[in-house]
A and B are shown apart, each in its own frame.
Chain A
């Protein structure tokens, strides 16, 4: 297993704050059992640090969007779950990655280790344009911080 750098929603949004207004794509790897906590963390940090509501949808939502760039550019940050790979998702992320790029926004893709590895192998154009691949863990609770 490749050991990507670890982050939390707090630290990730601190970085996103610096790069606000520029295009960025992060692939976030997380075991599926932690997804709901991490998703809540991401939404909370988007609200607190950037003052925005984070839209978080399955990646398939983009397949139904005629204006892909338009969908993403309506938001400064958008997050998508990649639960499984299909030909359509690979085509969207690889062949049409420039459409995501043109959105100019910051895009977060949440995936498991296994799916992320398969995805990166099959999407060289997407891999090349990723800002970073990170392992994301739930933010420590206040109790853990003070313990």
Chain B
């Protein structure tokens, strides 16, 4: 009889860890198993975590509109998902999570498109009996037409292109506008947005008649290439939604948080900001816990875990990237555990990525921040550094502060040598 011998396969050491580091958006199962929910608001340890605050507001004050801002990879989608999960504690809760980028090119869409997306999603959550209601069905069909466009056969009028003579001699009339004394806070709703608002009224009517708690969680608008477009969506689509007792929680571009106009704070009923997390494990073990929950102790020691946390600068996605690259480096090196040199390789790789695109002015601002801890986010280049996460914003003990991403700081030092 042939004797069976177990063959050591190093892939099996790292594969389970890499699978738990899978960076795509957390699934509902992940929320229960590998996600470490924050214990408090990142800006105020006395306050509940953002998802708990959002859920409570949505439950008690229907129709509230809330915004969530944070840099790339700061955990906005996870907070939205945690909010959604918490809202499920009430049976009558109707919660809709929409990533708009899944549905359309958000850089190209016009006002009204977001309401169409929300209306379509809410329609799919209606009971079958409500969906067969004539008014609801007609409103949904019209929304679909607006979303996808339609082709109609119309009779060709051969005189169509000829200009009719006006009844009144227009030369004698000219408009004279006297500006109003009160300047409206927001521009008027466009006609097509008002039309969609009426259709929405029909679609949400069954929810409202049953007194349901409806919350829409909108992800994706924070990735708009031109953040100003977010303002347009808010002033049109979200404002039209204010007609209904539907709560909205939306991920917004980070730059608007630093905008002098304070549009976010003016428009939304509540705005929460996720700064970079505290990356020093001696001050907070939040980042270490994220790695430990994903099985880090099976493949590396405490020192390596803490080194990864520190080098991430508190950017959650970078934490995951560093852990992953360290694991791959150890595997390539034929080692069964991640060692400090593998972590250093990963940090170097990440730092070089952040070096890209740093022009002379960028470098001057970064160097000034490193040397003098001075940074002003007023200039477009400073804003670029913030958006690209080369400079990170922190909030500790009631103070906003900025720091160069630790991996970039290392890469700059290496670059100078």
Residues of A within 8 A of B (CB): 2-5, 11, 14-15, 17-23, 90-91, 94-99, 101-102, 104, 117, 120-121, 124-125, 127-133
- Minimum CB–CB distance from A61 to chain B (whole Å) comes to 16
B352 touches A (CB below 8 Å): yes
A23 surroundings in chain B (CB, below 8 A): 22-24
Q: Which of A11, A97, A121 contacts B357 (CB 8 A)?
A: A121
Known: A18-B15, A22-B22, A117-B356. A95 touches B72 (CB 8 A): no
CB-based contact B349/A133 at 8 Å: yes
CB-based contact B107/A129 at 8 Å: no
Total A-B residue contacts, Cβ distance less than 8 Å: 107
- CA A86 – CA B387 in complex, angstroms? 21
CB-based contact B105/A96 at 8 Å: yes
B183 touches A (CB below 8 Å): no
CB-based contact A95/B353 at 8 Å: no
CB-based contact B25/A98 at 8 Å: yes
CB-based contact B353/A130 at 8 Å: yes
**What are 8 A-B pairs with beta-carbon distances under 8 A?**
A5-B349, A11-B332, A17-B11, A18-B331, A98-B102, A104-B22, A124-B389, A131-B324
Binds A, one of B111-119, B220-228, B261-269, B278-286: B220-228
Closest B residue to A117 by beta carbon equals B356
Residues of B within 8 A of A (CB): 11, 14-15, 18-19, 21-25, 72-73, 99, 101-102, 105-108, 220, 223-225, 315, 317-318, 321, 324-325, 328, 331-332, 345, 349, 352-353, 355-357, 387-389
B353 surroundings in chain A (CB, below 8 A): 120, 127, 130, 133
A117 surroundings in chain B (CB, below 8 A): 356-357
CB-based contact B325/A95 at 8 Å: no
Closest B residue to A97 by beta carbon equals B223
- Minimum CB–CB distance from A71 to chain B (whole Å) comes to 14
- CA A125 – CA B223 in complex, angstroms? 7
CB-based contact B18/A95 at 8 Å: no
Q: Which of B108, B220, B353, B389 has the most CB of A within 10 A?
A: B353
CB-based contact A124/B355 at 8 Å: no
- CA A125 – CA B224 in complex, angstroms? 10
B107 surroundings in chain A (CB, below 8 A): 91, 95
- Minimum CB–CB distance from A74 to chain B (whole Å) comes to 17
Closest B residue to A116 by beta carbon equals B356
A95 surroundings in chain B (CB, below 8 A): 101, 105-107, 220, 223-225
Q: Which of B99, B101, B389 contacts A128 (CB 8 A)?
A: B389
- Minimum CB–CB distance from B236 to chain A (whole Å) comes to 19
Q: Which of A15, A91, A101, A132 contacts B331 (CB 8 A)?
A: A15
- CA A131 – CA B107 in complex, angstroms? 25
- CA A120 – CA B331 in complex, angstroms? 27
- CA A37 – CA B11 in complex, angstroms? 28
CB-based contact B352/A4 at 8 Å: yes
Q: Which of B18, B101, B106 contacts A22 (CB 8 A)?
A: B18
Q: Which of A3, A95, A130 has the most CB of B within 10 A?
A: A95
CB-based contact B321/A131 at 8 Å: yes
A90 surroundings in chain B (CB, below 8 A): 225
Q: Which of A2, A4, A14, A19 contacts B332 (CB 8 A)?
A: A14
- Minimum CB–CB distance from B39 to chain A (whole Å) comes to 25
Nearest 9 Cβ contacts at the A-B interface = A121-B357, A101-B24, A128-B72, A22-B22, A96-B101, A95-B223, A124-B388, A120-B356, A23-B24
Known: A19-B18, A98-B25, A128-B73. A133 touches B105 (CB 8 A): no
- CA A127 – CA B4 in complex, angstroms? 47
- Minimum CB–CB distance from A72 to chain B (whole Å) comes to 12
B356 surroundings in chain A (CB, below 8 A): 2, 117, 120-121, 127, 133
Given A102-B24, A124-B387, 4 further pairs, Cβ under 8 A = A95-B223, A102-B25, A120-B356, A133-B349
- Minimum CB–CB distance from A51 to chain B (whole Å) comes to 15
B73 surroundings in chain A (CB, below 8 A): 128
B225 surroundings in chain A (CB, below 8 A): 90-91, 94-95
CB-based contact B24/A104 at 8 Å: yes
- CA A19 – CA B332 in complex, angstroms? 12
Closest A residue to B221 by beta carbon equals A95
A124 surroundings in chain B (CB, below 8 A): 72, 387-389
Closest B residue to A4 by beta carbon equals B352
CB-based contact B24/A4 at 8 Å: no
CB-based contact B19/A22 at 8 Å: yes
Q: Which of A4, A22, A90, A128 has the most CB of B within 10 A?
A: A128
Q: Which of A11, A96, A98, A127 contacts B388 (CB 8 A)?
A: A127
- CA A109 – CA B36 in complex, angstroms? 32
Closest B residue to A15 by beta carbon equals B328
Known: A18-B11, A96-B101, A120-B357. A101 touches B389 (CB 8 A): no
